Chain A
Amino acid sequence: MDVALDSLKFIDLTTSSIIFLFIVGFIGGLVSGFIGSGGAFVLTPGMMSLGVPGTVAVASNMCHKFPKALVGAIKRFRYGQVDIKLGLVLAASAGVGVQVGIKLQNMILSAWGQAGSNLYVSVSFVAVLVIVGSYVFYDAMKSSKNTGADVTPALALKLQKINLWPMIHFKTANLRISLWFTLPVGFATGMLAATIAVGGFIGVPGMIYVLGVGGLCASASELVIAFAMGLGGTINWAMHGMVDIRLTLIILAGSLLGVQLGAIGTTLVREVMIKIVMGSIMLIVAVSRALAMPKYLVQLGLMDMGAETVAVLDKVSFLIMCAALTLGAVIILGAMFKARKAMARQQQEAFGQA
């Protein structure tokens, strides 16, 4: 059965593009399984660099995101790390955040055009990632020097003490907090998801530092939010016929392998590794997006720069973004390898003593 596909919407798949999507899918899955999010920020521009139109890239990426999050959430639920109630409560307010985020994007688009919208996305990327990423990284380094165990942050402790109806008890997260304090965290997660497609960069730190959830449980519960938001978004995009199922299936082939490996990794390494990986990725991605900003400033007439320099900066920005994801994967695999080696040594010593 030969059907001519709309060449404006669907690209011709080559061996190199299939391999590229599979590998990025695997690495993105590995990082998502470990820190609860990630991969999307490389996959969308990655697909666009292959010639996929922006909307199809976003839709196809989202269509792979929610089944990946589902598989990762099931795996980590089996390890006792997922708080489903927490994930669903945050997903509900995240849904509202997504709608507000989309409305804001549309307002900016109609006021300043595509370049203005892209600039807004890049500024949000840099601002959020530098502020939140620096704090996550600083906290990770601090805890790494100590025991490496999670200590409930002072802000979260204060909020947990405020008895504001309705109070909710989250069993797996092992905390009791007012619903009102969960709302801004979920809302900000949704807003960021609608803006930069990676809500987890605010969702996971929000759960850790505002609500007082442990790093393991926060990154695992983020997968529930990603599933709920991804499914909702996919239904919307698929109804508009924007999903290229071929791209989705290729990425999914790699990411389902990666997400399970990442989930296994969380049981092998110290909890602080989640913060280290997340902080490192966020700071490198911030550098990447900062390098992409001159392009949009030139398009808006706010900056003067040669076309060649802009093209070079654009390429360097994409390469740094790929490097961020790769570094995250290397840290995870390295930590897993070290942990397994230490376990094998312990077993050998125990065997020798017996």
Chain B
Amino acid sequence: MAKEVTKKQALIRMIGFGAASAVVYAAAFQHADAFADLCSRGGAYAAMPIATVFLVSYVHGGFASNLWSALGITAKAPVKTAQATQTKRPEVRATLNA
């Protein structure tokens, strides 16, 4: 199970990832036509759209994950099965009853 983060931590991360995501989207759509043209040239230019979606999946994915956590929509923790606690057996010492 994923490490739980508090709502406050999630909010801070959401703002950070959100800002990064906004920058990436603004950069891509500022010159959307030129960027779309560059990504559709084929050949080695194929790396452009692939690298872009990897970057977006990291920043926007991070934003989305923290958004749901900040809103309190989190995964249910798995039910912990009670583990039988082992009682410590008394140490057997050799004693000499003289």
Contact = CB atoms under 8 A, between A and B. Distances in A.
A80 interface: yes
A256 B61 contact: yes
A245 interface: yes
Contacts of A243: 39-40, 49
A261 interface: yes
Interface stretch (B71-79, B81-89, B90-98): B71-79
B77 to A, nearest CB: 8
Contact of B53 (A3, A67, A240): A67
A235 interface: yes
A2 B42 contact: no
Interface in B10-54: 25, 28-29, 31-37, 39-43, 45-46, 48-50, 52-54
A126 B78 CA distance: 38
Given A241-B42, A241-B45, A75 B56 contact: no
B24 to A, nearest CB: 9
A221 interface: no
Contacts of B31: 1, 3
A9 interface: yes
A80 B1 CA distance: 6
A350 interface: no
A322 interface: no
Given A67-B54, A235-B46, A268-B76, A245 B39 contact: yes
A145 interface: no
Interface SS of chain B: helix, strand, loop or mixed? helix
A267 B53 contact: no
Nearest to A68: B57
Nearest to A65: B53
Interface in A223-242: 231, 234-235, 238-242
Nearest to B35: A245
Q: Report, as a range, how many residues of chain B touch the other chain.
A: 35 or more
B36 A245 contact: yes
A79 B75 contact: yes
A91 to B, nearest CB: 18
Contacts of B48: 238, 245
A339 B75 CA distance: 11
A5 B37 contact: yes
Contact of A238 (B50, B56, B64): B50
B1 A78 contact: yes
Contact of A239 (B46, B60, B64): B46
A343 B76 contact: yes
Interface stretch (A201-209, A247-255, A305-313): A247-255
A211 interface: no
Interface in A73-92: 75, 78-80
A257 interface: yes
B33 A241 contact: no
19 contacts: A1-B31, A5-B33, A10-B33, A67-B53, A79-B2, A80-B78, A231-B50, A234-B49, A241-B42, A243-B39, A244-B36, A245-B36, A245-B40, A245-B49, A246-B29, A248-B49, A252-B57, A257-B64, A264-B75
Interface of B: 1-2, 25, 28-29, 31-37, 39-43, 45-46, 48-50, 52-54, 56-57, 60-61, 64-65, 67-68, 73-76, 78
Interface of A: 1-5, 9-10, 13, 63-64, 66-68, 70-71, 75, 78-80, 231, 234-235, 238-246, 248-249, 252-253, 256-257, 260-261, 263-264, 267-268, 339-340, 343
Given A79-B1, A246-B36, A264-B73, 16 more contacts: A2-B33, A79-B2, A79-B75, A238-B49, A239-B43, A241-B46, A243-B40, A244-B40, A245-B28, A246-B28, A246-B32, A256-B57, A256-B60, A257-B64, A260-B61, A260-B68
